[in-house]
Structure 1
Amino acid sequence: MRQTGFFHHIGTFLLLAATVLLIMTDISAPVVNGISMLRVNLNNRGTTSDRDPSLTFGTFGYCVRDTTASGQDFCSRSHVGYDPVAIVEQNVDDVDFSDVAQDSSKGLTRVMILHPIATGLAFISFLLALGAGVVGSFLASLGSLLTFIVTLVALICDFVSFAIVKNEVNNNDNGARAVWGAASWTLLASAICSLLATIIVFFTCCSARFHRRREARVVKDVPDGYGTPVRRRRWW
Structure 2
Amino acid sequence: MGVGTFFHYFGTVLLLAATALLIVVSVTAPVVNDLSILKVDFSGSNAVDRITYGTFGYCIIHSNGPDTCTSSHVGYDATAALAQVTQVSFSKGDRDSAKVLTRVLILHPIAAGLTFLAFLLCLGTSFLGSFVASLFSFLAFVVTLVAMACDFAAFGIIKHAVNSRGPNNVVARWGPTVWCILVAAVLTLIATVLVFITCCAGRSKKRRAHRSKADY
In the superposition, the TM-score normalised over structure 1's length comes to 0.87
Post-superposition CA distance 1:66-116 (Å, at most 9, x none):
24xx332111111001011121122223x2211101100011000011111
Aligned residue for 1:171, secondary structure, equals helix
- 1:80 matched to 2:47? The reply is no
Superposition misfits of 4+ residues, deviation over 6 angstroms: none
Aligned residue for 1:155, secondary structure, equals helix
Contact 2:162 2:171 in 1 (8 A): yes
Corresponding residue of 2:54: 58
Counterparts of 2:143 and 2:123, CA distance in 1: 22
Cα deviation for residue 2 of structure 1 reads 4.4
Task: Specify the code of the residue in structure 1 equivalent to 2:56.
Answer: F
Contact 1:65 1:74 in 2 (8 A): yes
Q: Residues 154 and 129 (structure 1 numbering): CA distance in 2 closer, same or farther, change over 3 Å?
A: same
Corresponding residue of 1:28: 28
Corresponding residue of 2:7: 7
Query: How many percent of aligned residue pairs carry the same amino acid?
Result: 49
- For 1:136, which of 113, 129, 140 is the aligned residue? 129
Task: Specify the code of the residue in structure 2 equivalent to 1:216.
Answer: H
Cα deviation for residue 151 of structure 1 reads 0.6
Corresponding residue of 1:108: 101
- How many residues are aligned here? 215
Segments of structure 1 that go 5 or more residues without pairing to the other structure are: 223-236
Matches within 5 A, 1:162-173: 162-172=155-165
Corresponding residue of 2:215: 221
Post-superposition CA distance 1:167-191 (Å, at most 9, x none):
0101135110000111211111111
- For 2:199, which of 181, 201, 205 is the aligned residue? 205
Corresponding residue of 1:99: 92
Matches within 5 A, 1:166-185: 166-172=159-165, 174=167, 175-185=169-179
Contact 1:15 1:126 in 2 (8 A): yes
Cα deviation for residue 132 of structure 1 reads 1.9
Counterparts of 2:162 and 2:3, CA distance in 1: 54
Q: Residues 58 and 101 (structure 1 numbering): CA distance in 2 closer, same or farther, change over 3 Å?
A: same
